Structure 1
Amino acid sequence: MSKLPHIGTSIFTIMSKMATEYNAINLSQGFPNFPVDERLTDIVAKLAKQNVHQYLPMSGYPPLLSKIAILVKNSYGRAIQPETELLITAGATQAIFTTIQALVETNDEVIILDPSYDCYEAPVLLCNANTVRVSLNDDYTPNWDRIEKACSSKTKMIIINNPHNPTGKILNESDFEILESLLEKYPKITVLSDEVYEYITFEEKHISAHTREKLLNRCVMVSSFGKSFHVTGWKIGYLVAPEYLMKEIKKVHQFLVFSVNSICQVAISEYLDLVSVNEIGSFYKEKRNYFRQLLKGSKFELMPCEGTYFQVASYASLSDKNDVDFCKWLIVEHGVAAIPISTFHADGKDLKLIRFCFAKDNATLEAAAKRLCAIQ
């Protein structure tokens, strides 16, 4: 008997497999294809011959923990205690899984805002708890009336994703004020804030839960070095949480992975002395603008993109197909892979929108855009 009877192969795996089979340009899965910063690869090459290959402490490499605390302070003005409020994880997905396993109990309810990333639901179900899926508005702003109506005495957690995958939306000041008011009414709710794209925002500055005084004792923050430093395959991220929550999270973490890849932790610790996270947003803003310019001649309608490295586009003027079939057709007939947005909705809501990843080198974006512009 399956513990996850309704969950099958992820859409990301399906589309990437099809992209390989049909030799399509893969703009589906969210990973960069350009070279990693040579400063970072040089550090790894140097460390490979040093004594950094054994287990590190369960919470993380102490110098890296100290530097993350400085990073959080510099980025958001928040002082954290690296020994008690910080945990290095094997990527953001493990961070999310571990947090939910530690804090959610049987028959609890967890509110997930759709469209939502697919790693949120499974750990809730494995806790014998229930997900309550609440749709965002069609412009992908939160519908706080619906969210509040979904809250009850059983609600244990609300998961927010900011900047938002797949839509690229970011939360504003008003959103946080309403969330804070909601938490006052429901003092048992914890917020899990997935902020893996925190340094990839454009015209508007990202407002982090780190900056909200009223949230700090009620919130677990998830970050990703893989996303920030273009090393998604390293699977390394971190959690920030108040000590009373972190104690519970560490209990699960130690039996799930115990400790995280040693050489990557040491490498990132050294790399943080050389790199500025403030450069990341401007780098991806150029990518976003270039990709949008390339698609101006196409029949796709591009949605606003405020953050992340994803561009959502409407194909409504091109086809009546549902978005899953359209994405398969796009691979087979035109050699470009994208992700259908309906798969991020529990009810399969289909607005004829698909997601492209523009974290690619310019040659890849140009080749993909040429094919997309040719579709009539």
Structure 2
Amino acid sequence: MGSALPLGDPAPPDGALPDGLALDRAADFGVYLHVPFCRVRCGYCDFNTYTATELRGARQDAYADEVLREIALSQRVLADRGALRPAATVFFGGGTPTLLPPGDLARMLDGVRSAFGLADGAEVTVEANPDTMTDAVAATLAGAGVTRLSIGMQSSVPHVLAALDRTHDPANIGTAVTAARRAGLAVSLDLIYGAPGESLDDWRTSLETAIALAPDHVSAYALIVEEGTKLERQIRRGEVPAPDDDLQADMYELADELLAGAGYGWYEVSNWATGRDQRSRHNMSYWRSQDWWGYGPGAHSHIGGLRWWNVKHPAAYAQRMALGQSPAAGRERPEPEARRLEDILLRSRIVDGVPVSEATEAGRRQVASLIADGLVDGAAAIAGNVVLTRRGRLLADAVVRALTA
């Protein structure tokens, strides 16, 4: 059911923003809509998601209306500060958004459109399980204004899917891509590597299968063992092996090699796209610390340097919405130095890099060593930006430590 919420200051029941925020009314505004429902909990997952037996009275069929109430609250809050802006990006994440009827997703998007408007060319993404995607669902989503489908492929190898507790039929990945294409939607495929028992050849098979489907975008994430998950308990009991760091590094290098050879350019450590227009603009807003409002249980938001997070459980969220109260459980405004260090952490992960001038004085002195070690692109650094090489992407945390020393 997800990791614990962070500590923070109390959030007011009306959701009002404090004075002194650096509100940039010309900056892009993103919307994240969390759908916390899953049919089965995957053994590796620590996201804030719930199966039917874990809902404690919360109702899936009432969820869209609850989110619409939070959207209305956010409209009032932003209007009070003169900070209403059209949404440049909208992202339905989860959980499994496509467990809800497509009409419910359409109503939630209509709520965003009514409250804020959608910017010209707005990117609207829905995450989807391959088993839930049909021509009819894809057509309904496209008709509602969705522009992009992010399909949870994870692997095309049955024993790897089983190790991840993924229940979808690998054959349905291609079916989902075809349905999305028929509806005129852009397609991203999401992959995970390093599952127990997954070999380098297994991973090659999944990559080649994904490339053959010709998506516009591919995400490939190393499996991380999160505390409190089923996978963590299995590893602790010795039932399955822990991920092998060296093998995962080989898998990353293989992914970058095959994807680059097929015309996909990396633009963030774990993300590749066929061109700049196919990059996930919504996720880029996170890496650039732009403004977004997150709706739903456990969702996080960031406006003008203020962060807050909603109550975690769908039942608690529904209760707040029924009372007309903000669902925020806490909030914080990091100090400027903490924000600067976080900015280096996030921006160093993207292909545009982070200005050398943003590093600490000691960090700037480390740049030459990072170039010599093959972690940072020399030409880019001379031009004033720290940009990771392939080897640097594998050791991104070490680069960040050097820049912020």
User: What band does the TM-score fall into relative to the shorter chain?
Assistant: under 0.3
Please identify which structure carries the higher strand content.
Answer: 2
Task: With the length of structure 1 as denominator, give the TM-score of the two structures.
Answer: 0.28
